[in-house]
A and B are shown apart, each in its own frame.
Chain A
C-alpha cells in the first residue's frame, strides 16, 4: 500500500505557518487552512530541487471565495497597482489569486496567463491575453520558495518590452530569499506567509524523509 500525504492538524498549522503580523491575517490564514485541508504533511519535491515536509495546495484554499478575496485584499493593501496594469499569472493555481487581484484592482486591469511546461514550471511564453508595450505588469503566483520560479515570468515581461510594476505571492517558503530576489531585480512586491522554523525545507542529501525511506517523494507541482 502506498503511503499518502495527510492533511496537517490545527496544531501543526500553528507551528509551521508564519503569517505576517497584520490585523486579522494570522487568524484568517489558520482558520482557512484548517477548514480547507490545504496544508499537507508528507514528503514533497519542490521545483527548485529541495524537499519539504509540508505543502500548501493553494487551489484548496482558493475554493473559498471569501478567503480568496481577503488574501487578495491583504496583498493589494501593500502596493499601489497602476490602474491599467496587466496581471500576469502562470497557468497553475496562481491563476485564482491573480484573477481575485484583477477583480479588485482598477477597472482597466486585464489578465494574462503564461504557459506552464510539462513539469508545471512557468514557461517564457503566453497562453492567454497580452502584454501590450508600455502597460505595467503585476506578476502574481500562489506559493514560491525563493521566488526563482517567477523569473521566467519576469523575463517574459522583459521579452515583450514591458515593465514589472510588482510581484505578489501568497506564500514564500523562504521569505528572505524572496525579498532578496525582489530587491536584486528592483521590483516592489509582497507575500503573506512564510515557512516557520518547524517547516523543514531540505536539500535532498539532507532530507530526513529520504533517509527514513518510508515515504515516497511526490512532485509538489502535481498537487496544485
Chain B
C-alpha cells in the first residue's frame, strides 16, 4: 500500500488510535529528514523564539504525541544507529496504550494471556490482538506451555526488554524537555485531525494552535507542519486554500498513475491518455501541475507526445512558456487539482490570461472532487 494511501485510510476512520498512527507516520516523515529538515526547523523555530506547547491541562493526546516526537528527534543528536532503529518502536509503544500495558505486565516474566489480561486490566480479546501485533513487531515471543498445550505463554523478547527500558527512560524527563520540533509534529497531528473531519485550512490550523503557542511562532510552526504533511505526500495547502480528502486522494491516484510512467519499459499511462482525448484539432493539451511535476515531465518526454505539454510556474521565469504555448495553436488546459484552478482564477497570475484563451478547461477528479464552475471533469479510476 502506498504510504499516503495508508495515511488517508487512517485519517478517514477518524478514531483517536488511527489518528495517532497517522500523526506518527507524518512525524516520521519529518524526522526522517534529519540531515536537513529537522535541523532547519529547529533553527528557525529557535529564531522565532517559539514557546513549547502549553503544559498542564492541555490536550493530553497532543502533549503525549509531542513528547514521543521529542524523544525521537533528540535521539538523532546521539546518531547511534541502535537509537535510530529503536526510536520508531519506542514511539509506537508510547502511542499505543495497549502495547505499553502488555509490555509492562510482562516485565516480571512470561505469563499466560489470561494473567496478562488481569494484570493489565484489558479484555482477553484485546490482549490477544495486542500480543499478535507485538509478536509481529518482534517485541514479544510466544511459546507453547509444556503442560497445557492449549494456552501459549508470552514473554518479552530481548528487543522488547530494551524497548521497555527505553520507554522508562523516555518518560523520566517531562516538562521543559518538549521542544519545538515536537510542536511542529504535534501541529502536523492537528492537521491530520482537521483533515479527518473533512476540511482543513491554514486558518483552522492556526486557530487550533493559538492556544498552544505564542502568536509569532504560530505561522512558522504551521509552515513547517504543512511542509511535513506535503513531504508525506499528503496535501497541497497554501494560504487559505482548503484541502479535502477527495483532493488528497486525487493527488495520490495521479501520483501512483505517473509512477508507472517512470518505467522505461512500462505500459501506457491512462491519465495521460485521458488528457490526450481532449486535444483540439491541430492543437495541444497543456497539463498544469505543480505537484508530481517531474513525473509529468518524465512521462511526457519518455513517450514523446507532440500534443501534450506540461506547464509549471517556473516556465514563466525561464521564458519556456513561449515554447510551450505556441502562438496561434489552439489548446485545452488540464489541471491536476481543483485548488490550483481556484488559486489561478482568483489571482493576477499570468495563467489567468491563459485560462481565458483555453478552448476548454479540464481538471482531473475522483468521486467526491468538487470542481469550480465551468471546469469539466476528467474522471480517473
A residues adjacent to B (C-beta < 8 A): 4-5, 7, 37, 40, 57, 59-60, 62-63, 91-93, 95-96, 99, 102-103, 111, 113, 116-118, 120-121, 123-124, 127-129, 151-152, 218, 222-223
Known: A118-B231, A127-B262, A129-B263. A218 touches B317 (CB 8 A): yes
Q: Which listed residue (B259, B264, B294) contacts A102, Cβ 8 A? A: B264
- The reply to whether B230 and A118 form a contact with Cβ atoms under 8 Å apart is yes
Taken together as a complex, chains A and B put the C-alpha atoms of A96 and B304 apart, in Å, by: 13
9 pairs from A and B in contact (CB 8 Å cutoff)? A4-B317, A4-B319, A59-B297, A91-B295, A95-B262, A96-B298, A117-B231, A120-B294, A128-B259
Smallest CB–CB gap between A221 and chain B, Å? 9
Taken together as a complex, chains A and B put the C-alpha atoms of A73 and B298 apart, in Å, by: 21
When distances are taken between beta carbons in the complex, the residues of chain A under 8 Å from B32 are 123-124
Taken together as a complex, chains A and B put the C-alpha atoms of A195 and B295 apart, in Å, by: 29
Q: Which of B210-231 contact A (CB under 8 A)?
A: 227, 230-231
Contact mask for chain B residues 270-293; partner A; CB cutoff 8 A; 1 contact, 0 none? 000000000000000000000000
Taken together as a complex, chains A and B put the C-alpha atoms of A91 and B258 apart, in Å, by: 12
Smallest CB–CB gap between B253 and chain A, Å? 15
Q: Which listed residue (A57, A91, A118, A128) contacts B263, Cβ 8 A? A: A128
Smallest CB–CB gap between A178 and chain B, Å? 18
- The reply to whether A121 and B262 form a contact with Cβ atoms under 8 Å apart is no
Main secondary structure of the interface of A (DSSP, over half): mixed
When distances are taken between beta carbons in the complex, the residues of chain B under 8 Å from A37 are 319
Taken together as a complex, chains A and B put the C-alpha atoms of A89 and B136 apart, in Å, by: 33
Q: Which of B283-319 contact A (CB under 8 A)?
A: 294-295, 297-298, 301-302, 313-314, 316-319
In this complex, how many residues of chain B approach chain A with their Cβ under 8 Å: the count is: 25
Other A-B pairs beyond A57-B318, A223-B314, 9, CB < 8 Å: A4-B316, A60-B320, A62-B301, A91-B262, A91-B295, A118-B227, A118-B230, A124-B33, A127-B259
Count of A-B contacts judged by CB separation below 8 Å:
64
Taken together as a complex, chains A and B put the C-alpha atoms of A75 and B300 apart, in Å, by: 25
- Give the residue name and chain of the A residue nearest to B228 (CB): A118
Contact mask for chain B residues 327-346; partner A; CB cutoff 8 A; 1 contact, 0 none? 00000000000000000000
- The reply to whether A117 and B259 form a contact with Cβ atoms under 8 Å apart is no
Known: A4-B319, A91-B294, A118-B230. A113 touches B314 (CB 8 A): no
Taken together as a complex, chains A and B put the C-alpha atoms of A62 and B227 apart, in Å, by: 30
Taken together as a complex, chains A and B put the C-alpha atoms of A128 and B35 apart, in Å, by: 23
- The reply to whether B298 and A95 form a contact with Cβ atoms under 8 Å apart is yes
When distances are taken between beta carbons in the complex, the residues of chain B under 8 Å from A96 are 298, 301
Query: Most chain-A CB neighbours within 10 Å: which of B36, B302, B318?
Result: B318
When distances are taken between beta carbons in the complex, the residues of chain A under 8 Å from B316 are 4
Known: A40-B318, A151-B35. A111 touches B298 (CB 8 A): no
